[in-house]
Amino acid sequence: MAPVEWFDDLSIGMRFRSPEVKVTEADIKRFAAEFDPQPMHLDDEAAKKTLFGGLAASGWHTAAIAMNLAVQIRPFGPHPLIGMGVDGLRWTLPVRADDVLHLEGEVISLTPSKTKPQGIALVKWTMLNQRGEEVYTFTPIAIVPRRPQVS
Amino acid sequence: MAPVEWFDDLSIGMRFRSPEVKVTEADIKRFAAEFDPQPMHLDDEAAKKTLFGGLAASGWHTAAIAMNLAVQIRPFGPHPLIGMGVDGLRWTLPVRADDVLHLEGEVISLTPSKTKPQGIALVKWTMLNQRGEEVYTFTPIAIVPRRPQVS
């Protein structure tokens, strides 16, 4: 597959896969202490009494880890990942300490701008754990430049 | 206004407002280094050459800060904020170093479960900066317990 450099190089159905990353208990508690200080993300015993049945990563920690994996993939080649927003953000299973996560992506929509030299690319990203279970999905609304026209 | 304790205490149109928080340049760069290592979030000079025109917080950093403000509000009283996902996540303006942010929320939908003693509460959250400009909106799909029935 030729490397992606511009919006024009993307095609529907194109797939991406990230490296793996391990989430530690220390990571989970550190993120939660700063951004989501609730019992199920901070304290093992207190977490057992919640809907999660044990310590689980903040959903926003999961989201941040997924962003880091997407950046590593460089789905738009040299262009940064710039999103106007996200559709279809769903946390489907808890992320636990020592889970090994990776990200898979598929291009599901490509819409060229009618007025600017760019397009909107939708990649549906799915994060999976070491058992192949889907834990998180999201579809950023990304802006990608079009290949410059030679006149 | 009586304090919210259960799903049954929420009503459409109920509003919330968080304390303010200041975002520093160090915060922006530290979060980006760990989760979103792209030029517009890491390096002042490189950021000037991007669509952002200068250093801006990662959208996921903004999202994490918003979660922290929502946790401080305790919109569901003693019950934690547990979301199945998020709708309507949009980054509408860049968040810059030294911006002072707060969160405003409004209950827009309440759907009791037909099978479980809980309901789905949708609060539309909007984050504003020190100029009153909307920088970020999101609507988590939250699960909130119902008041226990006395038989």
Instruction: Provide the token pair at B146.
Output: 């119902």
Structural domains in chain A (count): 1
Q: What is the pLDDT of residues B24-65, one digit of tens each?
A: 999 999 999 999 999 999 999 999 998 899 999 999 999 999
pLDDT of residue A51: 86
Chain B nearest C-alpha distance from A66 (Å): 8
Asked whether residue B112 is domain-assigned, the answer is yes
Give the E-state strand segments of B56-133 in sequence order.
83-91, 100-112, 118-128
Kindly state the helix (H) or strand (E) to which residue B41 belongs, with its residue range.
helix B39-42
pLDDT (tens digit per residue) in A24-53: 999 999 999 999 999 999 999 999 998 899
* Distance of alpha carbon B137 from alpha carbon B93, whole angstroms: 10
* Interface contact B65-A35, CB threshold 8 A: yes
From B35, B39, B71, residue closest to A36, measured CB to CB: B71
Q: Decide if pLDDT at B1 tops 80.
A: no
Single out the residue of A61, A72, A67, A140 nearest to residue A107, CA to CA.
A140
Report which of A138, A128, A145, A151 is spatially closest to residue B86, judged by C-alpha positions: A138
Q: Is the pLDDT of residue A2 over 90?
A: no
In what helix (H) or strand (E) does residue A145 lie, and over which residues does it extend?
Answer: strand A134-145
Mean pLDDT, rounded, for A8-31 = 98
Query: Which residue range is the domain that position A15 belongs to?
Result: 7-145
Its ipTM equals 0.95
Summarize pLDDT for B101-128 with one digit per residue, the tens: 999 999 999 999 999 999 999 999 999 9
Q: Would residue A23 count as lying in a domain?
A: yes
Coil/strand/helix, residue B16: strand
DSSP state of A74: -
Widest CA span of chain B, in angstroms?
A: 67
Strand partners, B38: none
Q: Specify the DSSP element, H or E, that contains B136.
A: strand B134-145
Whether B151 is covered by a domain: the verdict is: no
- Cross-chain residue pair B64–A143, CB shorter than 8 Å: no
Residue B75 lies in a domain: yes
How far apart are alpha carbons A6 and A75 in whole angstroms? Answer: 10
Q: Which residues does B19 contact at the CB level (< 8 Å), separation at least 6?
A: B69, B72, B102
Q: B64 and chain A: CB distance < 8 Å anywhere?
A: yes
Tens digits of residue pLDDT in B73-92: 999 999 999 999 999 999 99
Specify if B25 maps to a domain.
Answer: yes
pLDDT-based confidence at residue A103 (cuts at 50, 70, 90): very high
Of B40, B64, B90, the CB nearest to A64: B64
Residue A65 falls within a domain, yes or no?
A: yes
pLDDT at B151 over 80: no
Residue B2 inside a domain? The answer is: no
How far is the alpha carbon of A106 from chain B, nearest alpha carbon, in Å?
Answer: 20
Nearest to B59 among A71, A83, A90 (CB): A83
DSSP A89-138: EEE-S---TT-EEEEEEEEEEEEE-SSSSEEEEEEEEEEE-TTS-EEEEE
- Domain with residue A32: its CATH number is 3.10.129.10
